[in-house]
Chain A
Amino acid sequence: MSDVMFSVNENTFKAVFNKLYPTVKLPFDGSNALGPVWFGVEGEVHLENAGDIDFEDSDTFFLSEQKIGWDKLVLRLGFNLPTITVGKFCVLRMPDDAPILGGECLVEFPGGELFGGNPDIGPIVLNLNAIIPYVVSEISGRYKIGIRKDGDYQKIYADVQAIDVHPISVQDTVGKLPGLVQAAVYAASYQMLALIPYTWLVDVVLGLLGFPTITQYLLNLLDIESDMEAWLMKVLNQSIGVDNLLYEQIFNAVLSKDEVFKIDDPYPFVPEITAKTADYGGFPKPVLTPTFKIPKVAALVENASVRFDEDNMIVSFDFGMI
């Protein structure tokens, strides 16, 4: 049997583990274009406490429902307006029974092209910081426990093996999101109107597009049909893939975490003390100062091991001679 053994149960382990998470803010950004709309996101998160820790087989544990706290969420969007061709038609057509090019258009009237240079509208910025409290995201992860010597310690590390970032859920119970989206769409429609200087032309274009107003045209491009929260979640999760962006940031942050526990190695039995010289005798060399330092007495930690056994993390080791 080992000289020393101690064990820590799941709850205590979880309490200690949670304290270790760096509270630094993890920034991330990303963007993606889907057809005529492109989305960009700029955010900042930090890790909060783990929901639950389950010790698994001998050396891994599973951490579930660790909350991600949001510090910043800014959505940018823009439109690449699709080209609208007006009045293109065939002026002269080969007769169908012609020996060559039967039925083909010989002379085509090209019409007029609106937004032919693919102008951009945007970027329109939606500052979603107001709804951050309602953005819910969690991760779960699997870690491997191990103990290794590092400097003057035996450190017990939790090495992350895999992390799963759950899709983001927006629960805007207060209803702030529609106002933000509405403002963004208005801003976009102003920009689009700036591209079409004549009111009559706006009406012609709207007639061609089949929408009664520019706002509704843009809402259609954005694919906002009903639930704004569902739309935002789709944008974040599917269009931009925020979970992937978060994954990388979090994985790296977790990788660089400090050790969970550490044991002094060499382990001091008698700590270093400062003592009065007069209280001691038999110094190999005379001490001329009124106080002196007695060095610590320590032994090496050997055969250190850590493992899980049902609901406990068990650390055991032996003492060796220096």
Chain B
Amino acid sequence: MPTTLPSAFTQIDLDSGALAGSANVVHRLNEVGDWLLNVCRKEAVVLATIRLRVREDGTQLSASVDLSAAEIAGSTRYLGDPTLELTVRKGAYLRLHASSGQAGLFAVLRSAKDESVVWDSRQLVSSDLFVFLPLRPGHYLLANLITPAECGIAVLYPDPRDSIGKRLKNPDSMHLKVGTNFPVKTMNLMPGQGVILDTRGPARFTFVLQTPDNGPLDLADWRKAQDQKAWATLLAKHRQ
């Protein structure tokens, strides 16, 4: 029975302001106090609220919040209970992502005292991180909707003939500091090579497929020939 693929493999286009697939946003909690983290859908409907306590002596240095857990009833994932409370240390990192579902989710951080908005994930601020994992080969446009800035990214097709016998190892992730502009105009990535964008100003990043790359046309035939060769070798050995 085929299982459903995780959204990291199926969600191709990514948006830091509408989290889905492999898109992650990391925000640092530098102020001590009590906060409310609203989990929201596109139409700004609040699906859940998490109480965040930031303390000088808090023990947790990071927290991970799956925004889609609030949307799925009966989920047993971490933070399945929408009214969960979290206590973290001052300076802790908050990682937001949405592991399932297609509707983009975002989070709004409010003060617990007066509910004033302190941070909105639809507009990242300096030192926030946008982390994602390009998988599907093709040409993409990486853009900052707010500045605006653009960068062309080519996710290369994993042709085994290029590196026969070698594993496509998990290459090192790309770590980019992004100001008004991207530091490069174009970039080549391997599928499964992670990208960390470290923004220095307001940002809303989108990563959109422009042209899919379905690989060399002769690759399928090459694989068939490989199989035939493998069987022929086996049979030859067998007959000895």
Contact = CB atoms under 8 A, between A and B. Distances in A.
Interface of A: 86-89, 91-92, 101, 106-107, 109, 111-117, 119-120, 175, 177-178, 182, 194-201, 203-204, 206-210, 212-213, 215-216, 219, 224, 226-229
Contacts of B193: 87
Given A112-B133, A212-B223, A106 B196 contact: no
Contact of A195 (B3, B136, B227, B237): B3
B170 to A, nearest CB: 6
Given A199-B215, A206-B158, A215-B227, 4 more contacts: A91-B196, A109-B24, A201-B136, A213-B223
Given A92-B93, A208-B167, A199 B214 contact: yes
A204 B129 contact: no
Given A109-B194, A197-B5, A228-B234, A88 B131 contact: no
Contacts of B3: 115-117, 119, 195
B224 to A, nearest CB: 8
B238 interface: yes
A109 B226 contact: no
Contacts of B6: 112-114, 116
B62 interface: yes
A111 B215 contact: no
B226 A107 contact: no
Contact of B9 (A112, A117, A182): A112
Contact of B133 (A109, A120, A182, A219): A109
Interface string B189-219: 0011110100000000000000011110001
Interface string B158-171: 11100111111010
Contacts of A201: 5, 9, 135-136
A196 B220 CA distance: 16
Given A194-B2, A200-B214, A210-B167, A114 B135 contact: no
B158 A204 contact: yes
A197 B10 CA distance: 10
A107 B234 contact: no
B215 A175 contact: no
B153 to A, nearest CB: 15
Closest 8 CB pairs of A and B: A112-B8, A207-B168, A207-B158, A210-B167, A226-B237, A87-B133, A87-B192, A204-B191
A91 B135 contact: no
Contact of A119 (B2, B157, B170, B231): B2
A198 to B, nearest CB: 7
A216 B157 CA distance: 20
Contact of A219 (B62, B214, B230): B230
A117 to B, nearest CB: 5
A175 B2 contact: no
A279 to B, nearest CB: 79
Contacts of A206: 158, 160
A216 B230 contact: yes
A210 B168 contact: yes
Contacts of A203: 157-160, 215, 219
Contacts of A177: 238
Contacts of B213: 200
B75 to A, nearest CB: 15
26 contacts: A87-B135, A87-B193, A88-B170, A89-B172, A89-B194, A91-B95, A92-B129, A101-B61, A109-B24, A109-B133, A112-B9, A178-B238, A182-B231, A196-B5, A197-B2, A197-B5, A198-B136, A201-B5, A203-B215, A204-B192, A206-B158, A210-B165, A213-B223, A216-B226, A216-B230, A228-B234
Interface residues of B, number: 53
B163 to A, nearest CB: 8
B137 interface: yes
Given A87-B133, A201-B135, A215 B5 contact: no
A182 B226 CA distance: 14
A196 B237 CA distance: 32
B82 to A, nearest CB: 22
Task: Select the residue from A86, A175, A197, A228 with max chain B CB neighbours within 10 A.
Answer: A86
Nearest to A104: B61
B193 to A, nearest CB: 7
B45 interface: no
A204 B135 contact: yes
A86 B192 contact: yes
B230 A92 contact: no
A106 B91 CA distance: 12
A202 to B, nearest CB: 9
Contact of B173 (A89, A114, A207, A227): A89
A198 B22 CA distance: 17
Contact of B26 (A89, A107, A224): A107
Contacts of B159: 203
A215 B22 CA distance: 29
Interface string B1-25: 1110110110000000000001010
